[in-house]
Chains A and B, each alone.
Chain A
Amino acid sequence: MSALLAVRDLRVAYGKVQAVHGVSIDVDEGRIVTVIGPNGAGKTTLLGAIMGLLPSRGDVELFGVPAQRMPVEQRVESGLCLVPERRELFGAMSVGDNIELGAFPRRRDRSVRATRDEVYQRFPRLAERRSQLAATLSGGERQMLALGRALMGKPRLLMLDEPSLGLAPLIVREIFSIIATLKASGVSILLVEQNARAALQVADYGYVLETGEVVAEGTSALLSVDPRVAATYLGQAAASGASPA
């Protein structure tokens, strides 16, 4: 299987503060890879650097091509898409318009229509609320709209930043089952999450990030019983204490 994304020794700093200290991850085609970790670990910074929104040092290879000098627009056109942590929907525009804008990189493509039908089929609730203003949607619906908008670009690699943020457990379950079905339709996913359990249930492979460094990695089956995961969330004692299962 070919690596869609290969990150080697990535370093990102905000002024004097080093947020990411030499992180290396791989996302192979057709897989869901997750990066989990507590708040402040540097997960959003990592995605920002891969997307090209933040200056960074190290190597990022996108779809086999070195991407360090590629501007953001080019990365998007080559098939990379990010659903940001705060969704960043266009609140004053309708659901339908938000969806349309997702296809902006492919605006000259004839197959946009077919994609649009697919998205509305996958998210019937969005079809119901097509003319509603995006700002009036509930938390779960916003997440669906953000996903739908991202899918309109027919991405090869979809990066999701904390899709469970701010959502009730029931809705989290719904969103994650949708994420699982995305893999079946050929979208590879890099999932960044604070909710370790939900992420490890849906992913194939995982990395554990703590204060800017990868402290553990492995298949999701192995990680979900690894006491080091609990330790990053609750401090060292948790590693020897309760079992996370």
Chain B
Amino acid sequence: MSAAGSPGGHHASVARAWRAAALFALLVVPVLAPPFWITLLNYIGLYSIVALGLVLLTGVAGQTSFGQAAFVGVGAYTTAFLSINYPAISPWLNLIVGVGLTALIALFLGFITLRMKGHYLPLATIAWGISLFYVFGNLEFLGGHTGLTGISVLNLFGLPLRNERYFFYLIWAIALASLWMTQNLLDSRPGRAIRALKGALEMAEAFGVDAVRLKIIVFVYAAVLACVSGWLYAHLQRFVNPTPFGIGQGIEYLFMAVVGGAGSVWGAVVGATLITLLKQVLQDALPHLLGREGNFEVAVFGVLMIVLLQRTREGVWPWLARLLPGPVPAPVSAPPPGTALARRERPHHDAPLLAVDRARKQFGGLVAVNDLSFELRAGEILGLIGPNGAGKSTMFNLISGALPLTRGEIRFVGAPIGDLQPFDIARRGIGRTFQHVRLVPTMSVLDNVALGAYLRGHAGVLRAALRLDRAEESRARAEAAAQITRVGLEGSLHAAAGSLALGQQRIVEIARALAADPMLLLLDEPAAGLRYREKQELAALLRNLRKEGMTILLVEHDMDFVMGLTDRLVVMDFGEKLAEGLPAQIQNNPVVLEAYLGAV
């Protein structure tokens, strides 16, 4: 905790003052405000809960959904049906039934829909959004288009919530709890993985993330939030019909998330507030302005949406957030002795570590790698070089698991790895970087590196949301901080990864690979695009790692970089091994020179 009087202390106390003021306002408003405002704020609360799910699903994980209103309907209709037909059952139990039913439907729909790519995904969400709406409207036992009335009153510890003012406290308590849980989730092990889903999915999978499973979990999470909102709505109104659960409302929920700021949980509240108030103002003001009755607010609303989305791509929240004191990043403390993440056993120096045994890769008739064999010994830096089109990248991808072998074997510490998926290879102890840097630019350097330790942790979505993962989380963050210090970037611990220079980003990628505690590091053109000084720093780092016992295989084009750094070289040309040996030998090998300068 920073001392009062220091900038961090000042920040923290201003933030606390804001929070206290907001809490006070929330407690006092229902007592003082006129009923119209209470109703409005209740709806804003209900919408915020749904929009929050969309912030996670669409804003962070990148899965666009227009169909959330349908899940609101499932929650509302479940409790409506049960409370009318089985009034003995407590409405709170209806909530549990509703959540269960929603989760099942979401699992089913998610399983089908989330495999779709591009524009098919949003279209599919529109499809089931409309379908569920018609289900609600056409089933007799759900009241058809007239709906169901006479929903029972909700009882909170014996207090009947008949009054909108009482409901205000319940709605906002649940809204704040949802915000708290979602914020916790984003700042955790699964949260880091979710944040990588949108722009760096392949990278996340290389570090052990089961992307398909995670997307479905996020989808169910968002659906459950919508369901809770629906349940609250049913007991607030004590009457449901299909209208609020149609595709129009589904689109509006998405607007709320996007306009509010789909990158932050507060965007949900801001968006819900803005859109609700806007509609209210338009409904009231337009007839006066235009001098006649009619639904013009729809047209004006549409135009305003377009303008807002053009002007504020990131939504309104980031703009507001600048006025508030920024969050102070939690300090990373060393874990108590003996509780740090388990390390792998190091292989003996010079022991054979990786054996490529007559590896062959064919793409139809094209032989990219032609029965190539070489060995890598522990503690050495091996360079894989060759002219363009030689097959170096293909060979690299065969080792990292991105491509399957056609024939031959690749053995790591004696065991074959040729058939394994990238995340299994990561688990065995092979870490890698990417030719084009794959960091999550909006995440801090610390969080990006911590993603590398994904397989060394266990916390799931539920534990993370309820903040039960703090011990494991502090270990992971300590490990990440240790690796960041090891590579010399401790000054940028909390900086957004996207703000670093390319050379530093490359080094962050190496730190991330180190966080997985690998025995072998695969580096894919690490020097590409770097300036001279950055290359020297990178080479110094790699030499240090070698001194510490790390084994490194690098594919590279920059000969000056390679010659001064590697212990041995393997030269490829047309998919075959052209030469193998010490750098000095390779440089003076006329066959190699001929291959590089070109055949005529």
Contacts and interface: CB of A to CB of B under 8 A. Distances in A.
Contacts of A16: 501-502
Given A235-B559, A236-B563, 20 more contacts: A17-B529, A40-B558, A165-B388, A165-B389, A173-B600, A195-B597, A195-B599, A197-B597, A197-B599, A197-B600, A198-B598, A229-B597, A233-B559, A234-B587, A234-B593, A235-B587, A237-B584, A238-B587, A238-B588, A242-B589
Given A40-B528, A237-B588, A244 B598 contact: no
A191 B528 CA distance: 23
A27 interface: no
A137 B563 CA distance: 39
Interface of A: 16-18, 38-40, 164-166, 169, 172-173, 176, 193-199, 201, 229-230, 233-238, 241-242, 244
B533 to A, nearest CB: 13
A19 to B, nearest CB: 8
A188 to B, nearest CB: 22
Given A40-B558, A235-B563, A237-B588, A230 B593 contact: yes
B598 A194 contact: yes
A39 B388 contact: yes
Contacts of A166: 389
A238 B593 CA distance: 8
A235 B383 CA distance: 14
Contacts of A195: 597-600
Which of B388, B597, B600 counts the most A-chain CB atoms under 10 A from its CB?
B597
Contacts of A165: 388-389
B339 to A, nearest CB: 40
A176 B593 CA distance: 21
Contacts, number: 82
Given A234-B559, A237-B584, A17 B502 contact: yes
B597 A235 contact: no
Contacts of B559: 38, 233-235
A18 to B, nearest CB: 8
Q: Which 4 residue pairs are nearest across A and B when measured between Cβ atoms?
A: A195-B598, A235-B559, A241-B588, A235-B563
Interface string B569-591: 00000000000000110111110
Contacts of A172: 598-600
B560 interface: yes
Contact of B563 (A39, A176, A237): A237
A192 to B, nearest CB: 13
Nearest to A39: B557
B430 interface: no
B387 interface: yes
A171 B593 CA distance: 21
A234 B558 CA distance: 8
22 contacts: A40-B528, A40-B557, A40-B558, A169-B600, A172-B598, A194-B388, A196-B597, A199-B598, A201-B600, A229-B597, A234-B559, A234-B586, A234-B592, A234-B593, A235-B563, A235-B583, A237-B563, A237-B587, A237-B588, A241-B587, A241-B593, A242-B588
B374 interface: no
Contact of A196 (B388, B528, B562, B598): B598
Contacts of A229: 597
A165 B529 CA distance: 21
Interface in B325-360: none
B505 to A, nearest CB: 10
Nearest to B557: A39
A235 B527 CA distance: 15
B92 interface: no
Given A166-B389, A235-B563, A230 B557 contact: no
Contacts of B590: 242
B296 interface: no
B596 interface: yes
Contacts of B587: 234-235, 237-238, 241
Nearest to A164: B598
Contacts of B562: 235
A130 B572 CA distance: 37
A148 B369 CA distance: 32
Contacts of B563: 234-237
Contacts of A198: 598-600
Contacts of B600: 169, 172-173, 176, 195, 197-198, 201
Interface string B522-539: 000000110100000000
Contacts of B531: 18
Nearest to B591: A242
A180 B587 CA distance: 32
Nearest to A233: B596
Contacts of B388: 39, 165, 194
